[in-house]
Amino acid sequence: MDGSLNRLHELLFAKGIAFARYSLPGNEKTLTLISFHPLAFQEINSLAKQEQEGFVFAPFVVSKEHPIWFLSTDKIIDESTDIQAIEEYLNTFPDVKHKITIPETTSSKNEYSRAFNLYMNKLKSGTLDKAILSKIKTKPRTEESLFSLFTRLTKTYSKAFAYLIHLPTGELWMGATPELLLLKDDKGLKTMALAGTQLLQERSLKEVVWQKKEIDEQAYVRKYVEKILSTVSDSVKVSETYTSQAGNLVHLRSDFSIEENFERYKIIELVKNLHPTPAVCGIPLEKSKELILNTEQFNRAYYTGFLGPIKANEINLFVNLRCMKVMPEKFALYVGGGITRDSEMEREWEETEAKAQTLLSVIHP
């Protein structure tokens, strides 16, 4: 079956047809959603008008170059699909060659250090309480198929939301994110506040000790999320903050739930207010976003955006972390971390290196 699926995905690449292959956290089932009629939006609110099922892929900041993509569900590939029949249909399409984008380059430690110092000036002046600084790390692309890489990714990080997406532009992204932005099902709503990072190494979760910098960082996010949710309900439930494992990393996490039913327009309004969260942007939100856009030497594109499947009665949206852009000759990994007044440059750099291992361990096992 894997051989047939691999061949099918290669055919979708060749024909320039948009698709998203994904698996939900803790779910062994992996699906491929094929979209013959993808749509591009400039406003998050446009998603509220979409009555059909599909897959959303949204950037950190919407632009003409990086719109919000909605991949309509025109075909779902699962274990029961007749692969030969869908291949015969796809072969009626002409081959498509997309213009290759300019390759991303690795962020140097000197570049990161200069940006870190600019961040610290803003933080120590009291202009900001927290801002996220990210970087790019590139690695040569192997000859292994993307389908094979993705299969290993889902097995390695079964508790994350894993995805491989092919956009109508030919752009390719892959990732495994631990952070839920918003879940809506028949029981209500769920989300989380996730921040702070350490390598787990040989310790148990009970042995992990958090420093003030990391505790404060997560508290910023928790308060922000709770404030947003309280605008739609007086019955927001919040868990105790606890240590959560994501692969070889651990984070501080708080869970939120609301046991009420909401119409789609209200869900999309919540998404608009939650994105970007302080966990990927900073506090205050607009000032930290401005600092990011003026300081980082690259466009984040879909890194720290959000993505996931939207169905009639269920929405699963995740923050696009631990992700990479796939280019013809290399992978460009996007990683970042929260900077506060208590941050140390060397420790922050090492944290981003550790986060890169999520994907590096799969690319070069």
Instruction: Give the pLDDT confidence of 337-354 residue by residue, as tens digits.
Output: 999 888 999 999 999 999
Instruction: Give the pLDDT confidence of 125-141 residue by residue, as tens digits.
Output: 988 988 999 999 999 99
For residue 262, give the CATH number of its domain. Answer: 3.60.120.10
Is the pLDDT at 2 greater than 80? The verdict is no
Is the pLDDT at 170 greater than 70? The verdict is yes
Instruction: Give the pLDDT confidence of 109-121 residue by residue, as tens digits.
Output: 999 999 999 999 9
Question: Which range marks the domain in which residue 336 is found?
Answer: 2-363
Is the pLDDT at 122 greater than 80? The verdict is yes
Structure confidence at residue 1 as a pLDDT band (50, 70, 90) = low
CB 243 within 8 A of CB 143: no
Give strand pairing partners of 180. 318
CB 317 within 8 A of CB 267: no
Which bin fits 62, alpha (ψ -120 to 50), beta or left (φ > 0)? Answer: beta
DSSP letter at 211?
Answer: -
Is the pLDDT at 19 greater than 90? The verdict is yes
Please tell me the total count of domains within the chain. 1
**CB 282: neighbour CB atoms within 10 A?**
30
Is the pLDDT at 234 greater than 90? The verdict is yes
What letters, b where the CB count within 10 A reaches 16 and e where it falls short, cover 8-19? bbebbbeebbbb
Three-state DSSP string of 309-361: EECCCCEEEEECCCEEEECCCEEEEEEEEEECCCCCHHHHHHHHHHHHHHHHH
Instruction: Give the pLDDT confidence of 59-101 residue by residue, as tens digits.
Output: 999 999 999 999 999 999 987 889 999 999 999 999 998 877 7
The residue type found at 201 is: Q
Q: What whole-number distance in Å separates Cα of residue 198 and Cα of residue 248?
A: 9
Give residue 332's pLDDT: 96
Is the pLDDT at 301 greater than 80? The verdict is yes
Give residue 274's pLDDT: 95
> Rg of the Cα trace of the chain?
20
Where are the extended beta strands (E) located within the chain?
18-23, 31-35, 39-41, 54-58, 68-72, 75-77, 130-140, 161-166, 172-177, 180-185, 188-199, 237-238, 242-246, 249-258, 282-283, 306-310, 315-319, 323-326, 330-339
